[in-house]
């Protein structure tokens, strides 16, 4: 029989200090602030390190200010650079951003539809400046974006 409980240890969250269950690898998501306990994030505190979407130092600052740990568009692009496949929601619709091996950045609906034509960009800067949804620039509506994260297989 599996000994599920014994595999977990309880430690204080590196960001908010609340207790969080971590596995054998010291990894676990804080239910209080959403921070993923992760050694790499602590080792490189100013970089976005998977599975977190913001750097450790930024997460601490946001938490102290009482703000949610939410990535900026720049943080999102840093994640994209590492992980190649990202997703986010806007007005309940799931979008995908993929960095293909031919160095094109493809911005599309996660579930393709006729009403949204996929956009292709050639640099992160171009994506950040020009990506749009229904005529609104992504950078201008980023505050309304939710669940910006590494892509999960559905
Ligand atoms: Zn926490």
Distance 32 CA to ligand 1 centre (A): 5
Distance 1 CA to ligand 1 centre (A): 31
* Residue 24: per-residue pLDDT: 86
Q: How far apart are CA 111 and CA 134, in angstroms?
A: 16
Which helix (H) or strand (E) segment holds residue 75: the answer is helix 73-83
Distance 92 CA to ligand 1 centre (A): 26
Task: Say which residue, 51 or 5, is predicted with more confidence.
Answer: 51
* Residue 53: per-residue pLDDT: 97
Distance 98 CA to ligand 1 centre (A): 29
Ligand 1 is an ion; residues with CB less than 5 A from it:
13, 15-16, 30, 32-33, 35
What pTM was computed for the model?
0.90
For residues 46-70, average pLDDT: 97
The model's pLDDT over 64-99, given as tens digits with 9 standing for 90+, comes to 999 999 999 999 999 999 999 999 999 999 999 999
Kindly list the domain boundaries of the chain, sorted by start residue.
Answer: 5-64, 73-150
Distance 12 CA to ligand 1 centre (A): 8
Residue 25, helix vs strand vs coil: coil
Residue 70, helix vs strand vs coil: coil
* Residue 130: per-residue pLDDT: 98
Most distant CA atoms of the chain, gap in Å: 55
Distance 120 CA to ligand 1 centre (A): 36
- Count of CB atoms situated within 10 Å of the CB of 130: 13
Distance 49 CA to ligand 1 centre (A): 16
Residues 6+ apart with CB under 8 A from 108: 95, 96, 98, 116, 118, 119
Q: How far apart are CA 133 and CA 109, in angstroms?
A: 10
Q: Any idea which of 71-80, 99-108, 109-118 has the lowest mean pLDDT? A: 109-118
* Residue 6: per-residue pLDDT: 60
* Residue 3: per-residue pLDDT: 54
The model's pLDDT over 141-153, given as tens digits with 9 standing for 90+, comes to 999 999 999 998 7
Distance 41 CA to ligand 1 centre (A): 14
């Amino acid at each position: 029989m599996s000994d599920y409980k014994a595999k977990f240890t309880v430690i204080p969250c590196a960001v908010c200090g609340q207790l969080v269950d971590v596995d054998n690898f010291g990894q676990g998501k804080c239910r209080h602030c959403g921070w993923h306990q992760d050694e790499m994030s602590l080792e490189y505190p100013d970089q976005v390190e998977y599975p977190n979407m913001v750097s450790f130092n930024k997460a601490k600052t946001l938490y102290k200010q009482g703000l949610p740990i939410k990535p900026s568009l720049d943080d999102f692009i840093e994640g994209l650079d590492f992980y190649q496949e990202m997703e986010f929601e806007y007005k309940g619709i799931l979008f995908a951003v993929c960095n293909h091996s031919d160095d094109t950045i493809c911005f599309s609906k996660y579930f393709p539809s006729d009403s949204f034509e996929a956009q292709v960009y050639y640099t992160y800067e171009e994506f950040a400046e020009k990506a749009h949804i229904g005529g609104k620039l992504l950078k201008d509506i980023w505050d309304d974006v939710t669940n910006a994260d590494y892509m999960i297989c559905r």
